[in-house]
């Protein structure tokens, strides 16, 4: 069986502290995979610079100049992790038979790639890297992550628990991914929608090698909300159900008060009235906010703005030895 060309796609945003070590470890891993016949010599490590303001792109250029196994994609400005990852995958699909995406912080176990490739050769088009445990996370982060997955499933969204963006995708899977045109990206929810044969590989996630996390609590919450609102309209349906229940409860309360009044009873009313006003008012504002979020996403989608703009690519196939540079 002919060895397949693998492209390891690594989105980078302000990763100057960790990038040299990441490049070193990935280079050693890719060479080992070539020696064992898991991948071809045309395989590449592709770093995608997501508009970093530090020396990230300079380092990527230096790596490419020193070793043709390193490729680079430079976005014209910062577009976010999901768009940067998609940009790298779309470039890689023109050269690779299979891609593996991972973050630059060295928390994902690079040795899990061997098992991913084995499952790919066994017929899987998508292989998810799944954390076997979350001991390195705080109790709050573990609890919030588990709650996130439960909520996503309750809302009808298919996601893989404890999976981020460490995954293998075949060429035809990436090609199928390119058919999804939405601007609001949540790849962890979109990839399972492709539907090809898939499997999982379990690994232990390490501490970040250097630098600061690019996903603090605020960004994690934003990503979770993005995933929910970009993949399902069930929150709007939940609001409709709550509204209907509130209306039925108000009718029941009205009937009770009328009967109580007919019996000569008095209704204190002040506390319950104020509570009702605040409860209904808050519910209305929440409903308007959620509906507004969906309308905003429709607004962004219909404008059809590009999800990213590639300023430059650096790819040097060994078979030809020439530099492909798009400016």
What are the boundaries of each domain within the chain?
6-212+306-326, 234-303
Measured between alpha carbons, how far is residue 196 from residues 89, 102, 173, 273, 299 in Å?
17, 20, 7, 55, 31
Residues in contact with 181: Cβ distance below 8 Å, sequence separation at least 6, in sequence order: none
**Where does 6-212+306-326 sit in CATH, by number?**
3.90.550.10
Among candidates 163, 168, 137, which has minimal Cα distance to 152?
163
pTM assigned to the model: 0.75
How far apart are alpha carbons 159 and 248 in whole angstroms? 35
Pairing of strands 126-131, 70-75: unpaired
Query: What are the mean pLDDT values of the chain's consecutive 10-residue runs (327 residues total)?
Result: 87 94 95 91 96 95 94 95 95 95 92 94 95 71 74 78 92 95 86 93 75 60 69 72 72 70 63 65 75 78 85 78 42
How far apart are alpha carbons 127 and 118 in whole angstroms? 10
Model pLDDT, residue 326: 46
Tokens 């999800």, located at residue: 307
DSSP string, 240-303: HHHHHHHHHHHHHHHHHHHHHHHTT-----HHHHHHHHHHHHHHHHHHHHHHHHHHHHHHHHHH
Bridge partners of residue 4, in order along the sequence: 39
Is-contact 47 83, C-beta < 8 A?
no
Collapse the DSSP code of 106 into the 3-class scheme (helix H, G, I; strand E, B; otherwise coil) and give the result: coil
How far apart are alpha carbons 279 and 282 in whole angstroms? 5
How far apart are alpha carbons 12 and 60 in whole angstroms? 10
CB-side neighbour CA atoms (13 Å) of 9: 31
How far apart are alpha carbons 257 and 276 in whole angstroms? 15
Tokens 């460490």, located at residue: 166
Is-contact 319 42, C-beta < 8 A?
yes
Residues in contact with 33: Cβ distance below 8 Å, sequence separation at least 6, in sequence order: 6, 39, 43, 113, 114, 117
Measured between alpha carbons, how far is residue 309 from residues 12, 83, 87, 302 in Å?
15, 10, 8, 18
How far apart are alpha carbons 131 and 251 in whole angstroms? 50
How far apart are alpha carbons 52 and 55 in whole angstroms? 8
Model pLDDT, residue 15: 93
Tokens 């050769």, located at residue: 121
**Phi–psi pair at 169, nearest 5 degrees:** -140, 135
């Amino acid at each position: 069986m002919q060895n397949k060309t693998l492209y390891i796609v690594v989105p980078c945003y302000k990763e100057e502290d960790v990038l040299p070590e990441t490049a070193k470890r990935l280079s050693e891993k890719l060479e080992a995979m070539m020696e064992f016949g898991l991948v071809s010599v045309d395989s590449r490590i592709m770093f995608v610079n997501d508009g970093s303001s530090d020396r990230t792109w300079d380092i990527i250029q230096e790596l490419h100049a020193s070793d043709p196994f390193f490729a680079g994609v430079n976005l014209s400005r910062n577009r976010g992790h999901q768009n940067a990852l998609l940009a790298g995958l779309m470039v890689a699909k023109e050269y690779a038979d299979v891609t593996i995406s991972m973050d630059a912080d060295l928390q994902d176990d690079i040795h899990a790639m061997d098992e991913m490739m084995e499952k790919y050769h066994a017929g899987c088009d998508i292989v998810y890297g799944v954390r076997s445990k979350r001991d390195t996370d705080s109790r709050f982060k573990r609890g919030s992550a588990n709650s996130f997955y439960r909520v996503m499933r309750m809302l009808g969204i298919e996601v893989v628990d404890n999976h981020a963006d460490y995954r293998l995708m075949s060429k035809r899977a990436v090609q199928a991914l390119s058919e999804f045109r939405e601007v609001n990206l949540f790849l962890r929810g979109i990839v399972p929608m492709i539907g090809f044969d898939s499997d999982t590989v379990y690994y232990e996630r390490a501490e970040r090698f250097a630098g600061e996390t690019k996903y603090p609590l605020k960004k994690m919450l934003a990503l979770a909300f993005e995933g929910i609102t970009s993949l399902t309209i069930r929150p709007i349906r939940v609001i409709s159900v709550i509204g209907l229940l509130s209306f039925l409860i108000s009718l029941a309360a009205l009937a009770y008060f009328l009967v109580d009044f007919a019996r000569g009873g008095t209704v204190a009313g002040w506390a319950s009235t104020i509570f009702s006003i605040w409860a209904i008012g808050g519910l209305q504002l929440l409903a308007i906010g959620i509906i507004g979020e969906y309308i905003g996403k429709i607004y962004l989608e219909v404008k059809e703005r590009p999800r990213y703009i590639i300023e430059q690519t650096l790819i040097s196939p060994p078979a030809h030895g020439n530099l492909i540079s798009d400016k």
